[in-house]
Structure 1
Amino acid sequence: MLSRLAWLGLEVKYLEPARTFYEDTLRMTARDEDENECVLAAGDTDLVLRRPTSVPRGGLHTHFAFSIPAGEYDDWWGRLEDEYDLDEAQFGPAKSLYLYDPDGNCVELGQQDVEGPGIDGIFEVVLEVEDLERAESFYTELGFETVDTSGDRTRVRMNGPMALELWEPHLGIADARGGVHVDLGFETSEPTAALEAVSDRVTQVNQVEDERVVVRDPDGHVLTFATNP
């Protein structure tokens, strides 16, 4: 139903230090910018940095993961370790490093099968939810599939256009937290069909058009379904 993650929106208090972190430290390229928003390229996904001047605001303390080519991992670690207190985790044959941006978002750089060079996509986003069963059911209706659940039922991992982790409030790897009021944009061939699948579960419908639908999920995350985001 949802074919691609088109964007992830983050709230930033001050645009300049946030833009500098992603452009200079993580070597991302800005696609567009004005006084209140900066859009950077993460492969074919947009990372949107947004000052809190309107709604949707963008996510706070969001944990998300950038894809990097496996062979670049050691170079990234060497570049970042002197300035940042890095954490590391191993997932099967793949490694990930973790650091924090100026606004307290936990940024993961993980080895993935991508071309690069550098950051080439967003492969995971973590949302904080109040009721795990309710959130899991909601995203199942949108086509996500549960692939892993923590033993204490505080975390669910789902596969879809990207990996979606749903966390009841807790600290994860690198003391990361799930994001609140996160802004996610998805590409789909049928935006109104996506709305119909969850129409009885959304807390708010902000916009309904043939090519664009904007809703809020049960935990207040803003979801856009669009044919051409």
Structure 2
Amino acid sequence: MALKELFDLSGKTALITGGSRGLGLQIAEALGEYGARVVLTARKQNELDEALAHLGGLGITASVYANDLGDFASLDPLVGRVVSEVGEIDILVNNAGATWGAPTVEHPLDAWMKVMNVNLNGTFVLTQSVLRRCMLPRGWGRIINVASVAGLQGNDPGMTPTLAYNTSKGGLVNFTRALSSEVAARGVTVNSICPGYFPTKMTRGTLAYGEQAILDHTPMRRLGGPEDLKGLALLLASDASTFVTGQNIAVDGGVSAV
């Protein structure tokens, strides 16, 4: 097979949670450029509409569905709608996430539950539905979890404590390992991307006061840019990564190496 064919996603449908902005939209651009039909979900319809117009301007075929990943009962019907209206889901990108900053002894329980429900529990329910309905019956699938370097290590004591976020992303890292081994013989690969600091709405508050400290701790001395996740996302979504599964790959400018 020619190398270009290994990366070709023509005829594939990719469901991307939290796809209306930030890293999810960057991944949508990459997969759509290589031929995938892109389906975006997020909570806010206006942001989805803006993303749809943006992708359309790039010549990318896309659909959008307003949905809350924390509403577990809505997720299997969502998958059913996507399958009925767009097509079987070949690629699932679990990108939607939530965070909360507070010292552990002051961390509200409801905030802890919100982070866990989006970052882990909703991801589990959605993944379960896509596996059951689409990937396992057809013997092919790509699951890409967007974890974080925060799931690979603790926090710098000079930064705002984010115990719930770190814990949830650490859970997603091992979710990736455990699920990958379970479905490996059935044509489905499961990998995660672990970004470092990228300028997004979620990181805006942290960067406002801690950007210089982050840059000082990053060997490349810069934040992640708009093209830095695209190549890896395309690799993990395509036939070029058929023998890659269970991996948690940091894209962090070298932070996790020091």
**If the length of structure 1 is used for normalisation, what is the TM-score?**
0.41
Greater share of helix: 2
| Higher-strand-fraction structure | 1
| TM-score normalised by length of structure 2 | 0.37
